[in-house]
Structure 1
Amino acid sequence: MSDQQRTTRPRGYEMRKRAEDVGRTRQRIIEAAVHLHGTVGPASTSIAAIADRAGVTRLTVYRHFPDESALFAACSGHWLSRQELPRPEAWSAFDSPVERLTAGLTDLYRFYRAGEQMLALVIRDVHAVPQAIREARERMNRRYVEVLAGAWPDADADADAPVRRAVIGHAAAFTTWRSLCREQGLTDDEAVELMVVLVAAVGTTS
């Protein structure tokens, strides 16, 4: 073995170990932020609290995440990666408006129930959520409504379309699910059935 090989291999090992240590530290910080966001909420989650839970200094947190948006994006991405997300592309397979709405709301309400604690705290503390994260969530919510409303014939030209779209948006909201299922005690299936009836009734009484 040459002198160069003797010096290169240990240095390469040290570099890999350092990279792994950095990665583990970053992951601890993210997991600490996720835990705090899901227990006390974003507004009550300080960098000091994240650092304490992760077992690092505040400086280390800032070294990995120079601003709040970067930390929140990593936290959000990590939490979402552990969820079974709604699949609007699967809803699109249903041509029948009622069948698509039923499939979509069933999927959304399942997701809301599974992620209820985090979703409730993030919505409560929306003022503390970085704008980029809020905008991404709003885009996804609009996507849900577009897919669900798009099953109705001539959805864009129909005079009832704006009202129907508003009712679908209401039905697809986390706050609606929580009101019906947590506050009023309906099951997810009962809430879905009720909202489908409500949306289907748009335009039938005029």
Structure 2
Amino acid sequence: MSIKSPKRIYRKTTRAKQEEQTRRRITEAVVDLHRTVGPAQTTISDIANLAGVGRVTVYKHFPDDAAMFRACSDHWIADNPPPDFTQALTEPDELKRAAEVFQLLYDYYRRSYDMMGKVMRDAKTLPALADVVENGWMKLLQNLEDALMPAGKTGAGAQRYRATLRVAMDIDTWSTFSGMGFNDEAAAELVCRWLEQD
């Protein structure tokens, strides 16, 4: 029976802390590069240089794109959580409910567009990133869409209503509104006018 010395335990603890700090530095570098140039333009060399480590160290912590994208997403979301839609979704009037939800959603897009705009753009060409987006942000939007669907809507009317919600929730739709000078409240009001037609 062998007894581990305190010195060995201390070394292992120190090494684990150093590994954790290195992983965090790499993750923060990935987040910064994704926010500034986008995932598609981020290279391992760029990440290594910004994190102050070698390329091999980056691969050691993130052996594939999927692992890197998940870590980046988790880290960024922790600092930039999506809005809490709970209160807005309790509004009984369907159009007022939609207006409140879209104001919250569009405010979030405005605050996070430097990252989310690039991620959503690059997810169209990066399958590993598309998977992270699909299992994260797109699920949230799907749940919102379901929550905003009026209970009595059926048939073609329900299909049009859902299509309008889906288009309105797209970050590119918000970007178009913003580029045309709409503030978030005015953009949400316009969406509600579309929904009112259905």
TM-score, normalised to structure 2, is 0.91
Letter of the structure 2 residue corresponding to residue 147 of structure 1: A
User: C-alpha separation between the residues in 1 aligned to 2:13 and 2:138?
Assistant: 40
| Percent of paired sites with the same residue | 33
Determine the structure 2 residue equivalent to 1:36: 33
Letter of the structure 2 residue corresponding to residue 190 of structure 1: A
1:163 matches 2:160: yes
2:112 aligned residue (97, 111, 115): 115
Runs of 4+ in 1 over 2 A off after TM superposition: 86-92, 137-141
Unaligned 5+ segments in structure 1 are none
Q: Provide Cα deviations, 1:4-36, integer angstroms capped at 9, x if missing partner.
A: 6xx722222211111110000000000000000
Count of matched residue pairs: 193
User: C-alpha separation between the residues in 1 aligned to 2:27 and 2:127?
Assistant: 16
Structure of higher CA gyration radius: 1
Mapping 1:84-123, distance limit 5 Å: 84-123=81-120
User: C-alpha separation between the residues in 1 aligned to 2:131 and 2:191?
Assistant: 30
User: C-alpha separation between the residues in 2 aligned to 1:73 and 1:15?
Assistant: 27
Q: Provide Cα deviations, 1:166-203, integer angstroms capped at 9, x if missing partner.
A: 0111112211111011x10111111111111111122x
Letter of the structure 1 residue corresponding to residue 119 of structure 2: V
> Secondary structure of 2:166's partner?
helix
Q: Is the 8 A contact 1:43 1:125 kept in 2?
A: yes
TM-score, normalised to structure 1, is 0.87
Q: How much does 1:129 deviate?
A: 5.0
1:81 aligned residue (68, 78, 83): 78
Unaligned 5+ segments in structure 2 are none
